[in-house]
Amino acid sequence: MIEKPARIAQKHPFGCAIACVAMATGLDYDEIIKDFSGYNFNEGGVDHQCVEDYLAERGYATRRIFVHAGYKRKDRDVWPCAPFADVHIVCGVRDGYGHSVIWLRDGTVIDPARENPGPLDKLEKLYSIAAIYKVAP
């Protein structure tokens, strides 16, 4: 079980995924940024696969579902789904750019770019939801 995270603000224009990793894991934002030294978070961010690889190397497993159910070859009938873990990282679009937020089992949204983000449906588009599980020390 992952504890309810405290909000960590993103320190770069495209640092939302880094802040979400920090919130989900308790790791330090500035230390995580150092691990992504090949990226310029003032110009662009990282994709969900980079985040999942980073988490896996630190003892976390993820289960990501997408709005498009590939096996059905169409978008899911119910989206977003109900929360299925204590902590999720949700990828979507806000203000025309890719954006990640934390979503808790109780429906609370923690946004690294906004102190009072409102409900999940405030994202313009919601592409995927990844449950985060601590599986190794």
- CATH code at position 83: 3.90.70
- Which comes out higher in pLDDT, residue 117 or 132? 132
In a domain, residue 127? The reply is: yes
Mean pLDDT calculated for residue range 41-45? 95
Which residue did the predictor score with more confidence, 76 or 132?
A: 132
In a domain, 41, yes or no: yes
pTM: 0.93
Helix axes 16-25, 48-56, angle to 10 degrees: 30
Question: Would you say residue 119 lies in a domain?
Answer: yes
In a domain, 7, yes or no: no
Q: Residue 1: its pLDDT value, please?
A: 63
Identify the domain containing residue 58 by its residue range: 16-134
Q: Domains in the chain: how many in total?
A: 1
Residue 2 has pLDDT above 80, yes or no: no
pLDDT digits (tens, 9 = 90+) for 57-100: 999 999 999 999 878 788 888 999 999 999 999 999 988 999 99
Q: Is residue 91 part of a domain?
A: yes
Q: Which two tokens stand for residue 122?
A: 């405030």
User: In Å, what is the CA distance from 36 to each residue of 15, 63, 116?
Assistant: 11, 22, 28
